[in-house]
Amino acid sequence: MKAPSASRKKILLIYFSFSSQTNNLVLALINGLEKYNITVVRQRLVPMEQIRFPIGSIRGTIRMMVATFFRKRFPIEPIDPHCFHEYDLIILAGPTWSYNPSGPVLSLFDQYGERLFAGRLVLPLISCRGYWRVHWWGLKNLLGKYGARIVNVIVFCHPNPEPWRTIGVFLKLAGEVPEKKAWLAGKYRKYGHTQKQLKEAKRFGKLIGMELDQGGNNLHQLNFETEIAQP
């Protein structure tokens, strides 16, 4: 991890990604931010006990969904000391797990909540199949509890129609290939976010970069609620 220089605006991007969807969004966002005079320090959350994607069985997937519904923590490796430096913005990105923030993000709050977030400007980014509102509400509570100032929110949903989206995500987690199942193929195009959505994430990165370049007082006015992000 590179230490930011004093003259540029600085963003800390903390994220967890299980099946690469948040990771892809984060990379696209950074790509957009790179056009501006901004240093991005990236911190990926790494669970102490490796969790494999796909989970690989229906029983294991159900077990994980039940555990995460009850907000099971997934302890994480220590984060880099650079995370505690001063930043103009913290972007906290991760998936929805059973209507909650993911286990590693919950552990981040348990371990570092106050030290990391007190008095900081925070922009959460959520990757989910479509059901993010309870997660968002929980995040707002946690960030508020630790004294963060939330400036906006970015949400990306998988753009498949229901019920195929839920069935597809479940099968993917269980280790199947839903796109190739004859009975599902016409209705379920692809697991996760599309190229169009990654382009949108890049555009959001540019919007954030431009706004920070101009002082960063209007981050709350940026419109991230688009048809492409949340179809």
Ligand X SMILES: Cc1cc2nc3c(=O)[nH]c(=O)nc-3n(C[C@H](O)[C@H](O)[C@H](O)COP(=O)(O)O)c2cc1C
Binding residues for ligand X, per CB under 6 A?
17-23, 64-65, 68, 95-99, 127-132, 169, 173, 192
Indicate if the alpha-carbon torsion angle 2, 44, 208, 138 is positive or negative.
negative
Choose between 19 and 31: whose C-beta lies nearer to ligand X: 19
What does the alpha-carbon distance between residue 115 and residue 184 come to, in Å, rounded to a whole number? 47
CB 116 within 8 Å of CB 85 = no
Instruction: Name the minimum Å distance from CB 141 to ligand X.
Output: 17
CB of 114 to ligand X, least distance (A): 26
Cα 6 versus chain centre, distance: 27
CB of 63 to ligand X, least distance (A): 10
136 and 155 Cβ atoms separated by less than 8 Å:
yes
* Smallest distance, ligand X to C-beta of residue 224, A: 16
Looking at the Cβ atoms of 43 and 127, the one nearer to ligand X is 127
Residue 65 or 228 having the CB closest to ligand X: 65
For ligand X, give the closer residue by CB, 154 or 173.
Answer: 173
- C-alpha dist (Å) from residue 62 to 65, 129, 179: 5, 16, 21
